[in-house]
Structure 1
Amino acid sequence: MNILILGAGGREHTLAWKLKQSEKLKQLFVAPGNAGTQEIAMNLPIKPTDFGAIKEAVLEHDIHMVVVGPEDPLVHGIADFFASDPDLKYIPVIGPEKKGAALEGSKDFAKRFMNRHGIPTAAYQSFTAEMLQEGFNFLGTLKPPYVLKADGLAAGKGVVILQDLDEARAELSRMLLDSKFGEASTTVVIEEFLSGIELSCFVLTDGENFKVLPTAKDYKRIGEGDTGLNTGGMGAISPVPFADESFMNKVKDRIILPTIQGLKKDKIPYKGFIFIGLIKVGDDPFVIEYNVRLGDPETEVVLPRLKNDLVELFQAVADGKLDSVELEIDPRSATTVMTVSGGYPGSYEKGKDISGLESIKDSVVFHAGTANKNGSVVTNGGRVIAVTSLAENFREALKKSYENVERIKFDGMYYRKDLGFDL
């Protein structure tokens, strides 16, 4: 089978690494990919949202399945594009249609979906520019901190949490009147702040059946002790020690089952991943957000613990036969440490030479933001290289990851040295 992965980050390199282990795979393509995917697949210089170019590549390379990494192509309707094209409609896309992708594409849609189906989440209201005064009034009814979320996609940067009421009102004005996040903040969701510890839960569904993948916890802030600006993710740990059987039963009964049943009730066809961002408040789970694809860097710790053949798993999703598959999970812990460019998540330089990759021992290297320049691997993004290790517990796995991260060098390289501090 020939498979095309869309995307260019650590998630896509991990998917490629895992698919490559299958005997059912014939050829693997990644669009546009990075220096890591280039070593194990054929990179195609195509943007994941250029549907016309993707169609040409799919037909030219006799692609039998498309696996969508990032959210943009899903929110823009790549699954619908394939389903409605006579040349492409027989090729399965692992990822939901546009209607289902709205769970990530619109915070307001997701909140309404949760309320409709009784899924526990923070209390909220949505506001547009015409409703600014009502927004100010609603903020006045809440206790700090105040949570403001751009409704649309804002590359993971559309959430603002503030302690001061006047600052929160000023921020709401910036988002609605000054288009701080562009079209994404035409509508702003204001919600109550939930205090607890966060984790990610990943579900794979064929629309009828579902499988719950290992839990993971990622670390979003740039600074140690979870301080500073939000990033795309500085590292991750799987499984999450506090997500015991009793807690996960609550997650399944109160959140996963009502989500799958809600999609069916709302007649939203869904084949692919549902990433549920959870917060544990006391002993109870609440949904912070839905994503409609795998997370990054969580993929780098979840897939290495999956023993199943990923091609077989995706084929079962495409065929609606996911109930016939038993998940096999490695009981060991996995950790990944992300190295980032100096200045990230602000402005940073690209094109810095990366050395030491060949000296990594007993860990797996996943490329996030890299490129190949005249035979050398160079930086090509804010998040650059993730180093994943497996061990009996997360502390041992972290020790291994950190030892190997120290072998990697590039100008301005930074990584957090305190992952797992809150576990």
Structure 2
Amino acid sequence: MNILVIGSGGREHAISWKLAQSERCDKLFVAPGNAGTASFAQNVEVGVTDFQGIKQLVLSEKIDLVVVGPEAPLVEGIVDFFKSDADLQSVLILGPDSEGAKLEGSKDFSKAFMQKHNVPTAFSKTFTKETALEGLAYLDTQEGPYVLKADGLAAGKGVIITESREEAKEQLKAMLLDAKFGEASAKVLVEQFLSGIELSVFVLSDGKNYVILPEAKDYKRIGEGDTGLNTGGMGAVSPVPFADAAFMQKVDEQVVKPTMAGLQSEGIDYKGFIFIGLMNMDGEPYVIEYNVRMGDPETEVVFPRIESDVLDLFEAATKGQLNQESLEINPKTAVTSVVVAGGYPEAYKKGDEMAFPEEMEGRFMFHAGTVLKEGKVLTNGGRVMALTGMADTLELAVEKSQALASEVKFNDKYYRKDIGQDLLALIQK
């Protein structure tokens, strides 16, 4: 099969890397890709939301399967575009249509969906510019911490959590009245704060059947000890020690099954990934959010643990035949540490030359913000690489990942040195 992966981050590198291992993969294209994907696939300079450009590429290269990595093209309707175009209708595409993508594209929609289909979640109320005064009055009736969420896509930065009621009010005004996150904060959810330990569960759906992929825990904040600004993710671990068989059974019964049943009852033919952000509250799962694609950097610990042929899984998902496939998981632990450009998640520099250590068993280097120019790999984004170590124990996987992070070289590099340490402390109790 000829395959096209859409996207340019660490998630797309990891997905492409796994697809390239399939004996059934003939030609692999990544649009636009990065310096990492260029080493084993053909990068094509086409933007992720340039649907006409993607169409031309699919037809000229006789693409059989398209895998959509990021959320933006899904929310903007790339699957609908394929389904409605006579030239593209026979091409398999993995991802939900625009109606299914509302699970991520609109926090208000997803919250209403959860409440309607009895998926456990935090209570919330939604406010707009017109009801901003009601929102401020509502905050006066609530106890902190206060959680404010922009309704639309905000590149992982549209959530504000604060202990201060006054700051919550200022942030609500900034989001609604000053368009802090642009159109994304035209609606804002004020949500009940959930305390516990977060984790992410990933489901691959064919519209009726599903498989639950390995779970992961990520680290969102820039600073060690989970301090400082939110980022797209500074590291991840899989499996998650506190997500034992009993807890995952609850996730399946209380969260995944009602989500799948809800999609079917709404007439949404959902073929793709459902990323479920969860809070483990005293052993009970509560949904924080849905995303409609794989997480990043969670993909960089989940996909190295998948031993099945992912091309078989992806094709089965697009054809409604996941019940004919089995999922084999490596029991080892995977840990990834993200190296970022100095200054990220605020202003940072691009264009620094990079140097890499030798490849070694159980160590994987996934590129994110990189580009290949004149034979040199240069930094090209805030999150530059996700460096994954895989081993029999969490401790050894952490060591491998952190060693890789220290050995990759570029100017003003930064990474968190405490990835996985909280889970090690939990195990050692």
Same fold? TM cut 0.5: yes
**Secondary structure, in 3 states, of the residue corresponding to 1:46?**
coil
Contact 1:206 1:321 (8 Å CA) reproduced: yes
In the alignment, the residues of structure 2 paired with residue 395 and residue 220 of structure 1 have an alpha-carbon distance, to the nearest angstrom, of 21
The equivalent of 2:426 in structure 1 is: none
The equivalent of 2:28 in structure 1 is: 28
**Secondary structure, in 3 states, of the residue corresponding to 2:422?**
coil
In the alignment, the residues of structure 2 paired with residue 121 and residue 317 of structure 1 have an alpha-carbon distance, to the nearest angstrom, of 27
The equivalent of 1:378 in structure 2 is: 378
The equivalent of 1:368 in structure 2 is: 368
**Is the aligned partner of 1:16 residue 2:20?**
no
Cα distance, 1:240 vs. partner? 0.3
- Give the aligned residue type for 1:131: T
- Give the aligned residue type for 1:136: L
- Give the aligned residue type for 2:235: G
Cα distance, 1:62 vs. partner? 0.5
TM-score by length of structure 1 reads 0.99
**Secondary structure, in 3 states, of the residue corresponding to 1:330?**
coil
**Secondary structure, in 3 states, of the residue corresponding to 1:422?**
helix
The equivalent of 2:171 in structure 1 is: 171
In the alignment, the residues of structure 2 paired with residue 359 and residue 114 of structure 1 have an alpha-carbon distance, to the nearest angstrom, of 44
Structure 1 portions without partners, runs of 5+: none
**Secondary structure, in 3 states, of the residue corresponding to 2:62?**
coil
In the alignment, the residues of structure 2 paired with residue 386 and residue 135 of structure 1 have an alpha-carbon distance, to the nearest angstrom, of 39
The equivalent of 2:87 in structure 1 is: 87
Q: Report how many aligned residue pairs link the two structures.
A: 423
TM-score by length of structure 2 reads 0.97
**Secondary structure, in 3 states, of the residue corresponding to 2:160?**
strand
Contact 1:306 1:329 (8 Å CA) reproduced: yes
**Secondary structure, in 3 states, of the residue corresponding to 1:275?**
strand
In the alignment, the residues of structure 1 paired with residue 359 and residue 106 of structure 2 have an alpha-carbon distance, to the nearest angstrom, of 44
Contact 2:335 2:420 (8 Å CA) reproduced: no
How much is the aligned-residue C-alpha RMSD, in angstroms? 0.9
Alignment of 1:267-286 (within 5 A): 267-286=267-286
In the alignment, the residues of structure 1 paired with residue 9 and residue 343 of structure 2 have an alpha-carbon distance, to the nearest angstrom, of 19
The equivalent of 1:192 in structure 2 is: 192
Contact 1:35 1:371 (8 Å CA) reproduced: yes
The equivalent of 2:427 in structure 1 is: none
The equivalent of 1:256 in structure 2 is: 256
In the alignment, the residues of structure 2 paired with residue 119 and residue 170 of structure 1 have an alpha-carbon distance, to the nearest angstrom, of 31
Cα distance, 1:58 vs. partner? 0.5
Cα distance, 1:357 vs. partner? 3.8
Deviations 1:70-93 (A, max 9, x none): 000000000000000000011111
Cα distance, 1:356 vs. partner? 2.3
Contact 2:204 2:272 (8 Å CA) reproduced: yes
The equivalent of 2:148 in structure 1 is: 148
Structure 2 portions without partners, runs of 5+: 424-429
Is 357-366 or 68-77 further displaced after alignment?
357-366
In the alignment, the residues of structure 2 paired with residue 114 and residue 344 of structure 1 have an alpha-carbon distance, to the nearest angstrom, of 34
In the alignment, the residues of structure 1 paired with residue 362 and residue 238 of structure 2 have an alpha-carbon distance, to the nearest angstrom, of 18
In the alignment, the residues of structure 2 paired with residue 77 and residue 405 of structure 1 have an alpha-carbon distance, to the nearest angstrom, of 37
In the alignment, the residues of structure 1 paired with residue 60 and residue 232 of structure 2 have an alpha-carbon distance, to the nearest angstrom, of 34
Contact 1:196 1:282 (8 Å CA) reproduced: yes
The equivalent of 1:341 in structure 2 is: 341
**Secondary structure, in 3 states, of the residue corresponding to 2:421?**
coil
In the alignment, the residues of structure 1 paired with residue 338 and residue 260 of structure 2 have an alpha-carbon distance, to the nearest angstrom, of 32
Is 359-368 or 117-126 further displaced after alignment?
359-368
Cα distance, 1:422 vs. partner? 1.9
Contact 2:368 2:384 (8 Å CA) reproduced: yes
**Secondary structure, in 3 states, of the residue corresponding to 1:88?**
coil
**Secondary structure, in 3 states, of the residue corresponding to 2:407?**
coil
**Is the aligned partner of 1:53 residue 2:53?**
yes
Cα distance, 1:342 vs. partner? 0.5
Contact 2:362 2:391 (8 Å CA) reproduced: no
- Give the aligned residue type for 1:211: V
Cα distance, 1:359 vs. partner? 5.7
Q: Percent identical across equivalent pairs?
A: 57
Contact 1:30 1:42 (8 Å CA) reproduced: yes
In the alignment, the residues of structure 2 paired with residue 63 and residue 359 of structure 1 have an alpha-carbon distance, to the nearest angstrom, of 31
Contact 1:359 1:407 (8 Å CA) reproduced: no
**Cα distance change of structure 1 residues 112 and 127 upon mapping to structure 2, 3 Å threshold:** same
